[in-house]
Amino acid sequence: MKAKRYHEKPSERRIRELAEAVSRARKLARKKAQREGLLPMPKPKPKKPPRKNLFSQLDDSSASKPSVAKPSQHGPENPSTGA
């Protein structure tokens, strides 16, 4: 349904509600005709390929290089934790 404004005049409200009712009735009639075979069913929309992650390029570029352990900036690594 169309979002109404904060305040609308009663005449505008009547017109809006009537227009919404007409569009609902047309939609129901169209759906019924499609189910009965009088109208062709709508064609399914083609599925879009999944969007590429913008950060995947950074991950891919680091995967091609050999991994080198970098020293931590926050202090010495503790070899017993394996981090």
20 is a domain residue: yes
Q: What is the pLDDT of residue 48?
A: 87
- Portion of the chain with pLDDT greater than 70, in percent: 59
Which stretches within 1-83 are classed as H helix? 10-36, 56-64
14 is a domain residue: yes
35 is a domain residue: yes
Region 10-18: mean pLDDT is 95
Longest dimension (CA), the chain: 78
3 is a domain residue: yes
55 is a domain residue: no
Q: Which domain holds residue 8?
A: 1-41
Residue 55 pLDDT level (bands cut at 50, 70, 90): confident
pLDDT at 62 over 60: no
Handedness of CA 46, 51, 57, 62 (dihedral sign): negative
73 is a domain residue: no
10 is a domain residue: yes
Q: Please give the tally of structural domains in the chain.
A: 1
53 is a domain residue: no
Query: Is the pTM above the cut of 0.75?
Result: no
Q: What is the pLDDT of residue 32?
A: 96
Region 14-35: mean pLDDT is 96
pLDDT at 30 over 60: yes
The Cα angle at residue 35 between residues 30 and 38, in degrees rounded to 5:
70
